[in-house]
Structure 1
Amino acid sequence: MNDFPIVKEYNSEHLEEVIELILHIQQQEYNVAITQGDQPDLFNIEEYYQTGNGNFWIAFHGKRVVGTISLLDIGEQQVALRKMFVHEDFRGATFKTASLLLDTAINWANEHSINAVFLGTTPQFLAAHRFYEKNGFITISRKDLPENFPVLQVDKKFYKYVIN
């Protein structure tokens, strides 16, 4: 079954699956010391992400949640890319899940007149660093982030993507 995942806007009926996917990747795969309680945004996706110039998407393979991505409105036609996670079985060229998610978010941002996308990530996510750089994100220093960018405790590496 090599069919590609389908990306759809978040719907609260998938909350448990979204939380399970994100926590598994953070805690089990990358040993990041972060808990469900450290991420209250996960319990308020509609209010936190799907407002203003923000949104949240889920990648499905059949009925299974295999990836997530969100854009958080930080004002001045800028967004923070957050919650980009792909199940380990759906990474890479076979399913192109990460590319489908990122393309969905970037296209949506472009349609909503967003000027730039910023993100913060952890040093452990080396494959993610390569992915972002391959897709046009440039490394920036923390001091070059917009004032309203919400830096997480685990964020040590930062990127920017400029939209036309």
Structure 2
Amino acid sequence: MATAVHIRPARPADGDAIVALILPIQQQEFGIAVTREGQPDLADIDGFYRRGAGDFWLACAGERVVGSIALLDIGQGQAALRKMFVARDFRGRDHGVAQRLLDHLVAESAARGLREIFLGTTAQFLAAHRFYEKNGFSQIDRADLPAAFPVMAVDSRFYVRRPSGGAPA
């Protein structure tokens, strides 16, 4: 029997569990040379993400953090999707964790009046590319990103989604 997964806002006490989810995926699965110190947003989730329409959510199986997703308000009715990670043993359609996290973020974005969600990812995340495209994200050139979008050093592929189906800003 599968463990029930629920989505909830991240809490200050979740910091170590969030890092324990994200760092191994970045470092071991994808070989990205990134550290906890190189991601200061993880040390201050409330201060970094919970501004304007932004927020940070977790998927939890019991008390275990098995997924994360964040929304960073970048102004002008736009936001950046950040920190979407799912533990390896909770990936795939059987679990639906990634889909539930993304559906939650998209619904919250629309409810918060956001017109566009942008994201950056790496060339290695092929399954993520397919997932985003299946969920209404369109690939764009880096030059088409808003000036306020925080491009990470590892980002090489970019997407946009309009949650309410509205026209571009």
Would the aligned equivalents of 1:4 and 1:97 in 2 still touch at CA under 8 Å?
A: no
* Partner SS state of residue 150, structure 2: coil
* 1:2 alignment partner in structure 2: 2
**Counterparts of 1:112 and 1:8 in 2: how far apart (Å)?**
17
| Secondary structure, counterpart of 1:28 in structure 2 | helix
Q: Report the Cα offset of residue 13 of structure 1.
A: 1.3
Matched residue type, 2:90: F
- List, as ranges, runs of 4+ consecutive aligned residues in structure 1 with deviation greater than 3 Å: none
Question: Aligned residues, how many?
Answer: 164
Gap regions ≥5 residues in structure 2: 165-169
Cross-structure match for 1:40: 40
Give the secondary structure class of the aligned counterpart of 2:58. strand
- Helix, strand or coil at the partner of 2:71: strand
Cα distance in 1, alignment partners of residues 96 and 3 from structure 2:
10
> Taking structure 1 as the reference length, what is the TM-score of the superposition?
0.98
Once the two structures are aligned, what percentage of the paired residues are identical?
A: 49
Q: Which runs of 5 or more structure 1 residues have no equivalent in the other structure?
A: none
**Mapped partners of 1:14, 1:135: distance in 2:** 28
Normalised by the size of structure 2, how large is the TM-score? 0.95
State the superposition RMSD in angstroms: 0.8
- Look up the match of 1:14: 14
Instruction: Give the structure 1 partner of residue 92 of structure 2.
Output: 92
2:71 maps to which residue?
Answer: 71
Shift in Å, 1:4: 3.8
Counterpart-to-counterpart distance in 2, 1:35 and 1:63: 24
**Correspondence 1:2-151 to 2 at 5 A:** 2-151=2-151
